Amino acid sequence: MGNFFEIAGRLDWSPLWISLKTGVVATAISFFLGLWAARKVIKMNYRAKSVIDGLLTLPMVLPPTVAGFFLLIIFSRRRAFGMFLDEQLGIQAVHTWLGCILAATVIAFPLMYRNARAAFEQIDANLVYAGRTLGMSDAKIFWRVVVPTAGPGIASGTILTFARAMGEYGATSMLAGNIPGKTGTVSQRIAMVIQDGDYQTAGFWVIIVMLIAFLAVFAINMIAGRQMKNIRKW
Amino acid sequence: MMKLYADIHKKIGEFELDVLIKSNAKRIGILGASGSGKSMTLRSIAGIEEVDSGRIEMAGRILFDSAERTNLKPQMRNVGYMFQNYALFPTMSVLKNVMAGLRGGASEENKTKAREMLARFNMEDFERKLPGELSGGQQQRVALARIMVTEPGLILLDEPFSALDSFMRERMQTEMEEMLSDYQGQVIMVSHNLEELERFSEELLEISGGKVINHRVCNAATKTCEAEKTEMKEFTHFDERGNAYMVDVSGKDITKRTAKAEGSIKMSPEAMDAVLGKKIKKGDVLTVAQLAGIMGTKKTSDLIPLCHPIALTNAKLEFEIDEEACEIKAVCTAESEGKTGVEMEALTGVSIALLTVYDMCKAVDKRMEIKDIHLVSKTGGKSGDFIF
């Protein structure tokens, strides 16, 4: 136990803050994009739905390095679009914190989108129709009726998104790299110290990550559990 | 002015909805089995179901017209819709549910308005509750309060009692009548239960396979509805396309038969005043008697043992009032293209109309005399024309 505090004392804590910051920002972006995409997709016809849903879910099923590959192609400063962003707008994604956010958002977004979509599809369409016949605007119906009613599903989607964004490794290491104090996230730090044979520091970070992950899942269960009180055990 | 006009055409796969509703009645019932298209009709009127073509008009306001490419959003139609499952917003309190349709959000003015409406439905103590904490009957009251507070021009009730157990259903039917009693607009109720609708409706339509197959006018006193096969301008607000009863009367002249009969009822001046002033408790005496007479013509073969059932093409009943003599004369004309004459039908019509007058006025005067029932004229058939 003394060992634990000794490590904690001499540790560079920057990876934790970088991971948390990345997780929060990527989750915020995914939240609104995910709700928006889910709302659009459920209104599509069967064919368009299959195609668009497939594209939006792709980052979740592909290896993160594949997403990293595409992100590098898009944002590399040696290519047209990356060059344009850098020269005209001063935006650089490669080897910057912005790269961390982009990578985490792309990888985690499908979790938000899919959970929101599943929650929306569970909603009784009569609620929306009732809102319309009562004269409520579609925006008001969405934010005041649909989102609160889909609340538990959206909340668990948000938490999963946050956990996934915080732990992202593959795409992040390719796009943002592992620059200590700048883009060095917890998962990248773990990989690095293990290469150095420092299992103690690695183990310390592993405990931190497991704690955060457990808290996230516990939070989901608490939120979802409130609605599951009536389910009979068998 | 015609209040509701709805001509709706819509095709979904094999199913085709093709209905025409024209009515001035305050309470309209639509009867039909599940899948008959009755709910779809309601949803089309509210604008939550897309319609292929037709026209929907409410109190002179056009809600939908495919020819003019008018299609108001449901938000702009001012039509209240009560869903079978009430569709209360589950995360909002009762008070917030009632305020949901009001402009200006949770302003004090809206709160007062919503509370007044809840108080009218005896739900003021439940304003903080969530819909899930209420019984079915209470949910229904909140759903109706939420609709009424937006002051709709038309209220649509989709199977309002089907979610309730039989005990609650009975109670809520009575409650619904009370809750709607001071509502001035039209109400359409859809149900698969004839009894419910006869109790509720002034006019009753039956829908099957996406078409209106039957139209009945209801008697407020007896709570029953009878098919209206005849052309009576005062009562026929509906004329269904493809209506099974619309036999072509202009057909073959040779077999056309008509008969006219009349009879009178003599009463005290008090009773006469009551009839004319419409003071009789049971309602408008002559309107009810007129309907009863027409029903009588159609039921003749059930009453007179040796009388054949006849498909009447027309039955008309009119009253002539002689105020000085305190007499009401009923004149009934029946027409058919059948093989037997229709004098029995005309005579029965007169008798039943006069008996109904007697029944409705007997509390005022028991000495009324029904007299002089006789045939006036008869045309067609073997025995030739006859004039009294």
Considering only CB atoms, which chain B residues are within 8 Å of A130?
81, 83, 87-89
Chain B residue with CA closest to A151: the answer is B91
Dihedral sign, Cα of residue B59, residue B64, residue B67, residue B69: positive
Give the separation between CA B201 and CA B206, rounded to whole angstroms. Answer: 12
How many angstroms away from the CA of B332 is the closest CA of chain A?
47
How many angstroms away from the CA of B148 is the closest CA of chain A?
10
Considering only CB atoms, which chain B residues are within 8 Å of A124?
85, 87
The count of C-alpha atoms lying within 13 angstroms of the C-alpha of A181, restricted to the half-sphere facing its C-beta, is 2
Could you tell me the two tokens for B263? Answer: 């009879």
- Do B87 and A132 count as a contact with CB atoms less than 8 A apart? no
| pLDDT for res A5 | 74
Of residues B236 and A103, more confidently modeled = A103
Answer whether residue B194 shows pLDDT above 90: no
Give the separation between CA B71 and CA B46, rounded to whole angstroms. Answer: 11
Cα separation values, B56 from A85, A234, B41, B216, Å:
55, 53, 11, 22
- Do A132 and B74 count as a contact with CB atoms less than 8 A apart? yes
Mutation target for A interface from B73, B75, B82, B151: give the one with most A CBs within 10 A.
Answer: B75
Residues of A with CB under 8 A from a CB of B: 124, 126-127, 129-137, 144-145, 148-149, 151
In words, the CATH class of domain B257-387 is alpha beta
The full set of domain ranges for chain B reads: 4-78+152-227, 257-387
Lowest mean per-residue pLDDT among A5-9, A94-98, B142-146, B200-204: A5-9
Could you tell me the two tokens for B242? Answer: 């493809």
Mutation target for B interface from A123, A133, A136, A223: give the one with most B CBs within 10 A.
Answer: A133
Q: Give pLDDT tens digits for A74-108.
A: 888 777 787 777 777 877 777 888 888 999 999 99
| Total Cβ atoms within 10 A of residue B197 | 23
Considering only CB atoms, which chain A residues are within 8 Å of B89?
127, 130-131, 144-145, 148-149
Q: Tell me what the mean pLDDT of segment A117-143 comes to.
A: 91
Q: How far is CA A50 from the centre of its chain?
A: 22
- Do A134 and B100 count as a contact with CB atoms less than 8 A apart? yes
Q: Could you give the percent of chain A with pLDDT greater than 90?
A: 24
How many angstroms away from the CA of A113 is the closest CA of chain B?
22
Considering only CB atoms, which chain A residues are within 8 Å of B43?
129
Residues of B with CB under 8 A from a CB of A: 43, 46-48, 73-81, 83-85, 87-92, 100-101, 103, 146-147, 150
- Do A133 and B80 count as a contact with CB atoms less than 8 A apart? yes
The topology under which CATH files domain B4-78+152-227 is Rossmann fold (3.40.50)
Considering only CB atoms, which chain B residues are within 8 Å of A127?
87, 89-90
H or E element, residue A216: helix A199-225
**Burial group, residue B64, by CB count within 10 angstroms (0-12, 13-18, 19+):** buried
**Contact criterion met (CB below 8 Å) for B93 and B128:** yes
Q: What is the CA radius of gyration of chain B?
A: 25
Chain B residue with CA closest to A137: the answer is B75
* HEC-encoded secondary structure of chain B: CCCEEEEEEEEECCEEEEEEEEECCCEEEEECCCCCCHHHHHHHHHCCCCCCEEEEEECCEEEEECCCCEECCHHHHCEEEECCCCCCCCCCCHHHHHHCCCCCCCCHHHHHHHHHHHHHCCCHHHCCCCHHHCCHHHHHHHHHHHHHCCCCCEEEEECCCCCCCHHHHHHHHHHHHHHHCCCCCEEEEEECCHHHHHHHCCEEEEEECCEEEEEEEEECCCCEEEECCCCCCCCCCCCCCCCCCCCCCCCCCCCCEEEEEEEEEECCHHHHHHHHCCCCCCCCHHHHHHHHHHHHHHCHHHHCCCCCCCCEEEEEEEEEEECCCCEEEEEEEEEECCCCCCHHHHHHHHHHHHHHHHHHHCCCCCCCEEEEEEEEEEECCCCCCEEC
Band the pLDDT of A110: cuts 50, 70, 90: very high
Of residues B9 and A77, more confidently modeled = B9
- Do B147 and A134 count as a contact with CB atoms less than 8 A apart? yes
Rounded (5°) CA angle A87-A88-A89: 105
In this structure, which CATH number among 3.30.2350.10, 3.20.20.220, 3.90.1150.10, 1.10.3720.10 belongs to the domain A2-58+108-162+181-225? 1.10.3720.10
| pLDDT for res B252 | 38
- Do B73 and A126 count as a contact with CB atoms less than 8 A apart? no
Mean pLDDT of chain A: 86
**Between A135, A148, A149, which is nearest B101 by CB?**
A135
Q: Tell me what the mean pLDDT of segment B370-377 comes to.
A: 88
| pLDDT for res B263 | 92
How many angstroms away from the CA of A28 is the closest CA of chain B?
23
Band the pLDDT of B281: cuts 50, 70, 90: low
**ipTM of the complex as predicted:** 0.77
**Between A124, A132, A149, which is nearest B75 by CB?**
A132
Q: Give pLDDT tens digits for A205-225.
A: 899 889 988 888 888 778 766
Could you tell me the two tokens for A25? Answer: 């920002």
Band the pLDDT of B385: cuts 50, 70, 90: low
Chain A residue with CA closest to B48: the answer is A129
Give the separation between CA A100 and CA A95, rounded to whole angstroms. Answer: 8
Region for A119 from its dihedrals, namely left if φ exceeds 0, alpha if ψ lies in -120 to 50, beta otherwise: alpha
**Between B81, B92, B103, which is nearest A133 by CB?**
B81
**Between B89, B146, B150, which is nearest A145 by CB?**
B89
**Between B47, B80, B100, which is nearest A136 by CB?**
B100
How many angstroms away from the CA of B203 is the closest CA of chain A?
25
Give the separation between CA B202 and CA B27, rounded to whole angstroms. Answer: 5
Beta-bridged to residue B62, according to DSSP, are B57
Interhelix angle A64-75/A97-121, nearest 10 degrees: 120
Band the pLDDT of A60: cuts 50, 70, 90: confident
Q: How far is CA B146 from the centre of its chain?
A: 25
Band the pLDDT of A109: cuts 50, 70, 90: very high
Chain A residue with CA closest to B77: the answer is A133
Considering only CB atoms, which chain A residues are within 8 Å of B76?
135
- Do B101 and A134 count as a contact with CB atoms less than 8 A apart? yes
Q: What positions of B carry a catalytic annotation?
A: 359
Answer whether residue B110 shows pLDDT above 80: yes
**Between B48, B85, B91, which is nearest A132 by CB?**
B48
- Do A133 and B91 count as a contact with CB atoms less than 8 A apart? no
Lowest mean per-residue pLDDT among A79-83, A122-126, B118-122, B138-142: A79-83
- Do B85 and A124 count as a contact with CB atoms less than 8 A apart? yes
Say which DSSP state A92 is in: -
| pLDDT for res B280 | 65
Answer whether residue B224 shows pLDDT above 60: yes
**Contact criterion met (CB below 8 Å) for B210 and B37:** yes
- Do A129 and B100 count as a contact with CB atoms less than 8 A apart? no
Q: Give pLDDT tens digits for A163-206.
A: 889 888 888 888 888 888 888 888 888 998 898 888 888 888 89
Q: Tell me what the mean pLDDT of segment B323-330 comes to.
A: 86
